[in-house]
Amino acid sequence: MTRTSTKLLLSLSLSLLAPLAGCDDRCEHPDAESCTTDADTDTGLHATSIMLSAGMETGEPGTTGMTDTTGATDIDATDGVSDTDATETGETDGCPELCGCVPALPRPEPPSIVLVLDKSGSMFVKTWDHDHDDLDGDGISDLVPGQPATPEVTRWNSLHRVVETIANDFDDRVSLGAQLFPALDASSASPELACVVDSPPEVAVAPGNAATLLASIPSADELALAGGTPAERGIASAADHLVALDDVEFAGSKHMLLITDGGANCSVDAEPSFAGVSLADPKLVATVEEALAGWGGDAPIETLVVGIDIEDAYDDTLQANPLELLNEVADAGGRALEGEERFYNATDEDQLLAAIEGLIGEISCTIPLGEDGQPGFTTLELEVDGEPLAELDASACDDGAAGWSYADDLEPHMSVRLCGAACEQFKASGELHGEFNCVPQP
Ligand SMILES: [Ca+2]
Ligand SMILES: [Ca+2]
């Protein structure tokens, strides 16, 4: 809604304001305290050179674009600077000669991510060739002739190892929580007990949470747990928790990472029988959609989907194809892949680690451009740690090239992604600097 109206306003106003003033190639750091402009309360259409700096704490978001719109035009059309504005800007408390003079945006906040973890019986009963050293299944290593293959492990064993790695790796950059589905005390004693989920989640979102998280989930060598796959109840509880977080302490973006080895069942509307709760749950997609739309008017919550060895085949118990079900969940969650498998479907432990590490890395290197996004008629230049970055298209960013790309397709762009080495550099230094520069008008 905001995007549409902003875009409309910009298009409607273009003819009134043309030619727009040009401005200097580069902007000096504006001093947020002394840079009072001759601001009329206005649309910000002249704010064509705006700073954002992740290293600065000054200023407030959403206050960009406060120069005048008193009809300033570059009458002599030779210096690229609005004649009326140039005079006025010269009068303003030491501001450099800019098209705009606005506070820097605040430092990006760490994202909040709930790991929504499948703790169903199959995670502890089914084993897999986690390191892919025995594709023919004869018990002999395919890699080292004559040597026995490594023993298969449970899927939970692999998931636990991956969670341990990523929780430690991202401990200082991401606020993590964990939701198990079903709950720790679920059992196969009754259909109800097979589907119970704890709410709030077992591990509340918090910074520096790795040790707490690992102490609160079943251990890697656990073999005796049972239960269904109440993913919808898990997602609902995790979304409730994210919405309830303090907006100031947890000001970053909010995400759920659903990691599962099968299609969701345990529908809240199911008949209370084992056959009933074993059927695919049609409600999961709707709940994920609701979270993305902004639960109770709150910020959108993305759901990212990682499957553990999901087969593309009809499942008689679910009465559905689990791969198709998870494709639908990924589509609804806001960050689906393209193609036949639109979620990350890991067939071994390395792929599971790569998928989860990649997704959390991507989230932590996605930087918002302020409440109103990028102003119209501007280009964006970014520097990490003092080095200018190349703008990339999204596919080059996905492939790990160094640089940045927009994280969204529509204008005004609301956020950017740092890609490849640029993401690593930002994570190491925390220094991101950016400028919106005006596109010179003819
Ligand atoms: Ca073999
Ligand atoms: Ca093996």
Query: pLDDT-derived band of residue 325, with 50, 70 and 90 as boundaries?
Result: very high
Q: How far is the CA of 147 from the centre of ligand 1 (A)?
A: 9
Q: Is the sign of the CA dihedral 360, 166, 306, 114 positive or negative?
A: negative
Q: How far is the CA of 145 from the centre of ligand 1 (A)?
A: 9
Q: How far is the CA of 158 from the centre of ligand 2 (A)?
A: 12
Given a cut of 50, whether residue 374 has pLDDT beyond it is yes
Q: How far apart are CA 100 and CA 6, in angstroms?
A: 18
Q: How far is the CA of 358 from the centre of ligand 2 (A)?
A: 24
Q: Which ligand is nearest to the CA of 145?
A: 1
Q: Which of 318, 225, 329, 220 is nearest to 275 (CA)?
A: 318
Q: How far is the CA of 307 from the centre of ligand 1 (A)?
A: 25
The secondary element (H helix, E strand) that includes residue 215 is helix 210-216
Task: Dump the DSSP string for 409-432.
Answer: SSSSP-EEEEEHHHHHHHHHH--E
Q: How far apart are CA 240 and CA 234, in angstroms?
A: 10
Q: Which of 111, 85, 113 is nearest to 23 (CA)?
A: 85
Q: How far is the CA of 128 from the centre of ligand 2 (A)?
A: 8
Given a cut of 90, whether residue 34 has pLDDT beyond it is no
Q: How far is the CA of 151 from the centre of ligand 1 (A)?
A: 12
Mean pLDDT of the chain: 79
Q: How far is the CA of 346 from the centre of ligand 2 (A)?
A: 15
User: Which residues are within 8 A (CB) of 68 and not within 5 positions of it... i.e. 6 or more apart?
Assistant: 37, 38, 39, 40, 42, 46, 85, 88
Q: Which ligand is nearest to the CA of 138?
A: 1
Q: How far apart are CA 269 and CA 260, in angstroms?
A: 21
Q: Which ligand is nearest to the CA of 150?
A: 2
**Residue 430 pLDDT:** 76
Q: Which ligand is nearest to the CA of 132?
A: 2
Q: How far apart are CA 311 and CA 314, in angstroms?
A: 9
Q: Which ligand is nearest to the CA of 142?
A: 1
pLDDT tens digit sequence for 158-201: 999 999 999 999 998 899 999 999 999 999 999 999 999 999 99
Q: How far is the CA of 292 from the centre of ligand 2 (A)?
A: 38
Q: What's the pTM?
A: 0.74
Q: How far is the CA of 137 from the centre of ligand 2 (A)?
A: 9
Amino acid in position 2: T
Q: Which ligand is nearest to the CA of 140?
A: 1
Going along the chain from its start, the domains and CATH numbers come out as 2-105+369-438 (no CATH), 112-364 (3.40.50.410)
Q: How far apart are CA 230 and CA 241, in angstroms?
A: 17
Q: Which ligand is nearest to the CA of 157?
A: 2
Q: How far is the CA of 311 from the centre of ligand 1 (A)?
A: 21
**Residue 154 pLDDT:** 96
The residues with which 106 forms a beta bridge, in sequence order, are: none
The residues with which 378 forms a beta bridge, in sequence order, are: 438
Q: How far is the CA of 221 from the centre of ligand 2 (A)?
A: 16
Q: How far is the CA of 347 from the centre of ligand 2 (A)?
A: 12
Residue 288 token pair: 């994920």
SS3 315: strand
SS3 268: coil
The secondary element (H helix, E strand) that includes residue 118 is strand 112-118
Q: How far is the CA of 350 from the centre of ligand 1 (A)?
A: 19
Q: Which of 290, 235, 223, 302 is nearest to 264 (CA)?
A: 235
Strand ranges for 250-356 from DSSP E: 254-260, 301-308, 344-346
Q: How far is the CA of 373 from the centre of ligand 2 (A)?
A: 49
Q: How far is the CA of 339 from the centre of ligand 1 (A)?
A: 31
Q: How far is the CA of 356 from the centre of ligand 2 (A)?
A: 21
Q: How far is the CA of 150 from the centre of ligand 1 (A)?
A: 10
Cis amide linkage into residue 151, ω under 30° from 0: no
Q: How far is the CA of 132 from the centre of ligand 2 (A)?
A: 5
Q: How far is the CA of 133 from the centre of ligand 1 (A)?
A: 7
CB-CB neighbours of 83 under 10 Å: 16
Amino acid in position 165: T
Which has the minimum average pLDDT: 47-56, 112-121, 298-307?
47-56
Q: How far is the CA of 343 from the centre of ligand 1 (A)?
A: 29
Q: Which ligand is nearest to the CA of 135?
A: 1
Residue 42 token pair: 């206005």
SS3 7: helix
Q: How far is the CA of 227 from the centre of ligand 2 (A)?
A: 26
pLDDT tens digit sequence for 131-148: 999 999 999 999 999 999
Q: Which ligand is nearest to the CA of 146?
A: 1
SS3 296: helix
Query: pLDDT-derived band of residue 45, with 50, 70 and 90 as boundaries?
Result: very low
pLDDT tens digit sequence for 67-107: 333 333 332 333 333 333 333 333 333 333 334 434 334 46
**Residue 153 pLDDT:** 96
Q: How far is the CA of 310 from the centre of ligand 2 (A)?
A: 18
Residue 374 DSSP class: S
- The helix-helix angle for 231-244 and 283-294 (nearest 10°) equals 10
Q: Which ligand is nearest to the CA of 144?
A: 1
**Residue 379 pLDDT:** 85
Task: Dump the DSSP string for 146-194.
Answer: TSBPPPPEEHHHHHHHHHHHHHHHTTTT-EEEEEEES-TT--SSSHHHH
Query: pLDDT-derived band of residue 371, with 50, 70 and 90 as boundaries?
Result: confident
Contacts 24+ apart (CB under 8 A), 383-392: 383/432, 383/433, 383/434, 384/418, 384/422, 384/425, 384/426, 384/429, 384/431, 384/432, 384/433, 385/425, 385/426, 385/428, 385/429, 385/431, 386/431, 386/433, 387/425, 389/418, 389/422, 392/419
Q: How far apart are CA 185 and CA 197, in angstroms?
A: 9
Q: Which ligand is nearest to the CA of 127?
A: 2
